[in-house]
Amino acid sequence: MELANRIVALDANAIDSEVLHWAKVGLLDTLGVTLAGSREDAARLAAQALDLAQGPSLLLGSSRRVGALDAALVNGCASHALDFDDCNNTMGGHPSAPILSALLALADARGCSGAQFVLAYVAGFEVACKMGLAVNFHHYQKGWHPTATLGVFGAAAACAKLMALDAQGTATALALAASFASGIKSNFGTMTKPLHVGHCARNGLLAARLAATGFTANTRNVFEHEQGFLDVFNGPGTYDVARALASWAAPLDILAPGIAIKQYPCCGSTHPAIDAMLALVRDKALRSYDVLRVQAWIHRRRLQHTNRPLPGSALDAKFSLQYVLARALLDGQVSVTQFEGNAHEDARVRELLPRIEVAPYDETQFDAANHFGGAVRVTLRDGTVHEASVQQALGRTSAHPLPMALLQAKFALCASTVLRDDAAAAVAGLVERIEQQADLRQLSQLLASTQSGN
């Protein structure tokens, strides 16, 4: 109930110019990757499996409108289909995709101002991340997918906020979300990973809607009960609720550590090593046929799901540290096309993969508190050794942000898969003025009316 009280108490005073800036960053980036992801099989097949009926909420990447719950699921799946959506260090996952997929569907269904939308987004972001502060990194290492298991609380909180539910209603939405939480990391590298996001976006919205009807749930101790979320998902002694509450909005997580914007459409755990490899490629003019051996190091926890020496599919390749390093060395970039079709079977890549060795780094390489570093060593056939390391990937925190020009270029590239250039610019312009929008349904009207080829 205390968490619900804090959600309800969060008001417009929390949205200063810096918070507003980061909310715009998160929304623009999420819209871009969702538009691009709408063309992926994961989103397309998820929509095909549903009995979609006409409704108020836009399916991004089309002009079709369906029920809000279905839109939240399909758009959520699209938002994560490329694994190009933002991250957050506290949450240990992707906060914006599940929250905004739910909120955009709800905003279409009921209408709201841009300011109300931003406040709801910030509230949901704070809930998902502070939940992460309470349960991580035990929760993450145990095998749960925090984007989904914690994202459902963020989506429920955001929707409850947009619906102006009181503390009791908000507590009910969170309690329902506790029973909806799901998602395991063993399904990484398949379509099920983005489905986790669609599922929790839908369930977060459903939780808030059920709460609004008077539906009941355990609002007294659904988290702390001996068979509640914390003990069941984590286990006794592996979480700290007091730590999370003490840090509530001090500062808001959207400010610090902030939104991590991805430069590459693959697992964020691989990004610091990619940055290091690309620095070597640029600075040393490396050529793959001169390379005898590549060694790379990332944090042990991140290597657990990215040590994939021979990826078996395009999706699997997104979680292969070996594959993305091969691509960075061979192509001087890591881009969307390298994870399409049979790109993972490229003969040049397959020839290089056996020469790439990966391992967890130790305290001689990075400070023990740093979970986000990456290092690469390249040994050439003539015996020359080149090394590079980064403390964290560019864009990983608000203190080390991706330059706005790169963010805007990423949005334009992603949006170009669906929208004309002028339409993409108009969407970006509306996001930049979101606080001035009296009815945010103008955003989906713009997206729906400016499609190319549908």
Whichever domain contains 424, its CATH number is 1.10.4100.10
Task: Say what the pTM is.
Answer: 0.94
Does one domain contain both 291 and 169? no
d(CA 115, CA 318): 36
Side-chain half-sphere CA neighbours of 155 within 13 A: 41
Does one domain contain both 133 and 191? yes
d(CA 398, CA 410): 17
Helix residue ranges, H only, 150-292: 151-162, 167-180, 192-213, 229-233, 241-246, 271-284
- CATH number, domain at 356? 3.30.1330.120
Q: Which of 390, 409, 426 is the last residue of a domain?
A: 390
d(CA 282, CA 449): 42
Q: Is residue 178 included in any domain, yes or no?
A: yes
pLDDT confidence of residue 347: 97
- Can you give the residue range of the structural domain that contains 359? 268-390
Q: Which residue has the tokens 């986790």?
A: 196
Does one domain contain both 325 and 413? no
Does one domain contain both 177 and 273? no
Does one domain contain both 234 and 361? no
pLDDT by residue (tens digit) across 140-157?
Answer: 999 999 999 999 999 999
pLDDT above 50 (res 341):
yes
Give every CB contact of residue 393 below 8 A, 6+ residues apart in sequence: 260, 263, 268, 271, 272, 274, 275, 372, 374
Q: Is residue 244 included in any domain, yes or no?
A: yes
Q: Which of 342, 369, 390 is the last residue of a domain?
A: 390
Q: Is residue 377 included in any domain, yes or no?
A: yes
Nearest partner of 228 among 320, 103, 135, 158, judged by Cα: 135
d(CA 440, CA 214): 27
% of the chain with per-residue pLDDT over 70: 99
pLDDT by residue (tens digit) across 200-250?
Answer: 999 999 999 999 999 999 999 999 999 999 999 999 999 999 999 999 999
Q: Is residue 96 included in any domain, yes or no?
A: yes
Sign of CA dihedral 454, 104, 340, 425: positive
Cα(first)–Cα(last) distance of the chain, in Å? Answer: 46
CA distances from 78 to 31, 68, 113, 379 (A): 10, 15, 25, 40
Q: Is residue 454 included in any domain, yes or no?
A: no
Does one domain contain both 249 and 340? no
Are 240 and 246 in contact by the 8 Å Cβ rule? The answer is no
pLDDT confidence of residue 326: 98
Give every CB contact of residue 51 below 8 A, 6+ residues apart in sequence: none
Q: Which of 362, 390, 418 is the last residue of a domain?
A: 390
pLDDT confidence of residue 454: 43
Domain count of the chain?
Answer: 2
Q: Is residue 289 included in any domain, yes or no?
A: yes
pLDDT above 70 (res 449):
no
pLDDT confidence of residue 451: 54
Q: What is the mean pLDDT of residues 329-348?
A: 96
Q: Is residue 120 included in any domain, yes or no?
A: yes
Question: ∠ at Cα 210 (157, 38), nearest 5°?
Answer: 65
CA distances from 357 to 338, 345, 354, 369, 391 (A): 20, 19, 8, 24, 20
Does one domain contain both 117 and 208? yes
Q: What is the mean pLDDT of residues 191-207?
A: 98
Does one domain contain both 320 and 382? yes
115 class by beta-carbon count within 10 Å (0-12 exposed, 13-18 middle, 19+ buried): middle
Does one domain contain both 334 and 195? no
pLDDT by residue (tens digit) across 265-290?
Answer: 999 999 999 999 999 999 999 989 99
Does one domain contain both 125 and 216? yes
- The three-state (H, E, C) secondary structure of 300-322, written as one string: HHHHCCCCCCCCCCHHHHCCCHH
Does one domain contain both 105 and 197? yes
Is residue 453 very low, low, confident or very high in pLDDT (cuts 50, 70, 90)? very low
pLDDT above 90 (res 126):
yes
Nearest partner of 315 among 196, 188, 199, judged by Cα: 188
Q: Is residue 414 included in any domain, yes or no?
A: yes
Calculate the average pLDDT of the chain: 96
Is residue 6 very low, low, confident or very high in pLDDT (cuts 50, 70, 90)? very high
Does one domain contain both 133 and 252? yes
pLDDT confidence of residue 448: 87
DSSP 3-state of 60: coil
pLDDT by residue (tens digit) across 353-394?
Answer: 999 999 999 999 999 989 999 999 999 999 999 999 999 999
